[in-house]
C-alpha cells in the first residue's frame, strides 16, 4: 500500500499524527474519533515508509477484543500476517513478569484468575449465590489492588471479632477459602508426558488464533508448540517432561523461538527423530524427546536419528540397539 493510499482516508490531524516520527506523541481523543485507525495507520506507515522492523513495534490496548481488532487492521494494511506485537496491557505485562520472575520475586508459572473465574469457583465450590459471588469477586479484586493478603484478612477478622457475627464470619470464611483455592488452581506436576495436538494457523478459528497471539505469541506457529510451553508452566522446577511431536520445530524458522526457549531456558535430555514411515498407516515427521524443567547449559543429552531405517517395525528395535550400544561403549571406556 502506497503512502498516498495509506493516508487518503484520514483527516488532517490523523495524517499529522501518522507522519510524526521524530519523538513521543500524545493523542487525546474521545470514543469513536478514530484513535485505532490512526494508530494502525501509523504502524503501517512506520513499516512501509520508514522500513522499521515490525517485530520491534509494540501496540497495547485494554481489552482482548480491541487487541484483536487492532491486529486484524494492521495485518490488512500490511497485506500479510505481521510480526507486530499487538496485545493487551494485562497479557503483555504478565509476559514481562514471567520473563523476569526471579527479579519480581514470583514463580514464572503463576496463573491469573479473572473475576469471572473467581465467581464461578465461589458459586460452584462454596455454595454462594450468583449475585453474592459477583459481589465477593469484586471485593477480592479490590483486596488484591490494595495488596491485602490472606494473613491481613485474618488479622482484620480478628480485630473485628467476626466470629461473634455468624453472617459476617461465614462470609469471611468463604472469601478466605476462595483466596486459598486461587493458589491451588495452578497445579504443579513432577512429570508431564504429552502428545500435544497438531494444528497450524490455517486450521485455527479466529478465537483460537487470537488466544495464541495474546498468550503465546512466540510459539503461535502451531498448537503443539504452545502446548509444549504451557506444559512447562504446569511442571515443577527440575520436573521431567516427555513429548511426541512433529520434528519440524528443529529446523523451520517459524519455530526458532521455541528452539531458543528449549535450549536457553530448559534442558533437552534426550531426543529420537523417527523416520517418516515410523508409524503404520501414516507418513508423518515425528520426534520424541524429553526435557528437564530447568536450564543446565553444560548438560549433554542423548540423540538418536532413525531416518536411515525405513519401516515402522524396526524403529523401536533400532532405537534400543543404538542406546544399548552407546551405554556399552561408555562402560568400556570406564
List pLDDT tens digits, range 95-113: 888 888 888 777 887 777 6
Residues 84, 88, 90, CA angle at the centre, nearest 5°?
135
| Res. 75: pLDDT tops 70 | yes
| Least confidently predicted of 90-94, 143-147, 195-199 | 143-147
User: What pLDDT score does 262 carry?
Assistant: 93
Q: Which three cell numbers stand for residue 108?
A: 514464572
The 3-state DSSP composition of the chain as helix, strand, coil percent (nearest 5) reads 55, 15, 30
User: What pLDDT score does 163 carry?
Assistant: 46
Q: Are 87 and 60 in contact (CB under 8 A)?
A: yes
Who has greater pLDDT, 271 or 107? 271
As a whole number, mean pLDDT of residues 221-241 equals 88
As a whole number, mean pLDDT of residues 2-27 equals 83
Domain ranges of the chain: 3-93, 115-184, 189-333
| Res. 269: pLDDT tops 90 | yes
User: What pLDDT score does 166 carry?
Assistant: 45
CATH 3.30.160.110 fits 189-333, yes or no: no
19's enclosing H/E stretch is helix 12-19
User: What pLDDT score does 162 carry?
Assistant: 46
d(CA 98, CA 296): 19
Exposed/middle/buried for residue 133 (C-beta within 10 Å: 0-12, 13-18, 19+): buried
Average pLDDT of the chain to the nearest whole number: 80
Q: What is the DSSP letter of 194?
A: E
Q: How far apart, in Å, are the Cα atoms of 85 and each of 67, 70, 91, 323?
A: 10, 10, 11, 43
| Least confidently predicted of 1-5, 190-194, 320-324 | 1-5
**Half-sphere exposure for 264 (CA within 13 Å, toward CB):** 7
Per-residue pLDDT tens over the stretch 111-158? 776 667 777 777 777 677 777 777 767 766 666 656 666 566 666 555
* Helices 115-125 and 166-184: angle between axes, nearest 10 degrees: 120
| Res. 17: pLDDT tops 80 | yes
> If we measure between CA atoms, which residue out of 140, 164, 163 comes closest to residue 152?
140
Query: Any residues with CB less than 8 A from the CB of 318 and at least 6 apart, and which?
Result: 306, 309
The two domains 3-93 and 189-333 share their CATH topology (first three levels equal): yes
Who has greater pLDDT, 219 or 269? 269
d(CA 37, CA 42): 8
d(CA 42, CA 124): 47
Q: Are 112 and 186 in contact (CB under 8 A)?
A: no
Exposed/middle/buried for residue 179 (C-beta within 10 Å: 0-12, 13-18, 19+): middle
CATH fold for the domain made of 3-93:
Rossmann fold (3.40.50)
As a whole number, mean pLDDT of residues 49-63 equals 89
Q: Are 229 and 258 in contact (CB under 8 A)?
A: yes
As a whole number, mean pLDDT of residues 35-56 equals 90
Amino acid at each position: 500500500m502506497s503512502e498516498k493510499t495509506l493516508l487518503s482516508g484520514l483527516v488532517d490531524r490523523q495524517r499529522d499524527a501518522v507522519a510524526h516520527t521524530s519523538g513521543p506523541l500524545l493523542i487525546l481523543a474521545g470514543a469513536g474519533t478514530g484513535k485505532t485507525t490512526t494508530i494502525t495507520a501509523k504502524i503501517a506507515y512506520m513499516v512501509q515508509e520508514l522500513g522499521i522492523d515490525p517485530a520491534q513495534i509494540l501496540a497495547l490496548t485494554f481489552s482482548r477484543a480491541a487487541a484483536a481488532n487492532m491486529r486484524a487492521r494492521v495485518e490488512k494494511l500490511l497485506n500479510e500476517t505481521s510480526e507486530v506485537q499487538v496485545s493487551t496491557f494485562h497479557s503483555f505485562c504478565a509476559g514481562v513478569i514471567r520473563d523476569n520472575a526471579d527479579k519480581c520475586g514470583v514463580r514464572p508459572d503463576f496463573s491469573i484468575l479473572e473475576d469471572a473465574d473467581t465467581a464461578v469457583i465461589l458459586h460452584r465450590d462454596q455454595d454462594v449465590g450468583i449475585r453474592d459471588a459477583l459481589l465477593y469477586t469484586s471485593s477480592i479484586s479490590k483486596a488484591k489492588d490494595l495488596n491485602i493478603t490472606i494473613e491481613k484478612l485474618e488479622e482484620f477478622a480478628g480485630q473485628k471479632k467476626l466470629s461473634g457475627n455468624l453472617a459476617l464470619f461465614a462470609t469471611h470464611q468463604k472469601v478466605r477459602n476462595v483466596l486459598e483455592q486461587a493458589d491451588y488452581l495452578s497445579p504443579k506436576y513432577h512429570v508431564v508426558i504429552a502428545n500435544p495436538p497438531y494444528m497450524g494457523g490455517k486450521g485455527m478459528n479466529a478465537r483460537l488464533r487470537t488466544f495464541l497471539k495474546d498468550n503465546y505469541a512466540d510459539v503461535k506457529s502451531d498448537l503443539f508448540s504452545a502446548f509444549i510451553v504451557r506444559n512447562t508452566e504446569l511442571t515443577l522446577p527440575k520436573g521431567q517432561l516427555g513429548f511426541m511431536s512433529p520434528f519440524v520445530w528443529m529446523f523451520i524458522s517459524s519455530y526458532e523461538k521455541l528452539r531458543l526457549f528449549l535450549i536457553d531456558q530448559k534442558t533437552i535430555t534426550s531426543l529420537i527423530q523417527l523416520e517418516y514411515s515410523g508409524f503404520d498407516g501414516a507418513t508423518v515427521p515425528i520426534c520424541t524427546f524429553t526435557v528437564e524443567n530447568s536450564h543446565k547449559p553444560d548438560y549433554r543429552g542423548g540423540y538418536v536419528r532413525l531416518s536411515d531405517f525405513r519401516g515402522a517395525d524396526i524403529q523401536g528395535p533400532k532405537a534400543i540397539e543404538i542406546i544399548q550400544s552407546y551405554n556399552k561403549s561408555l562402560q568400556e571406556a570406564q
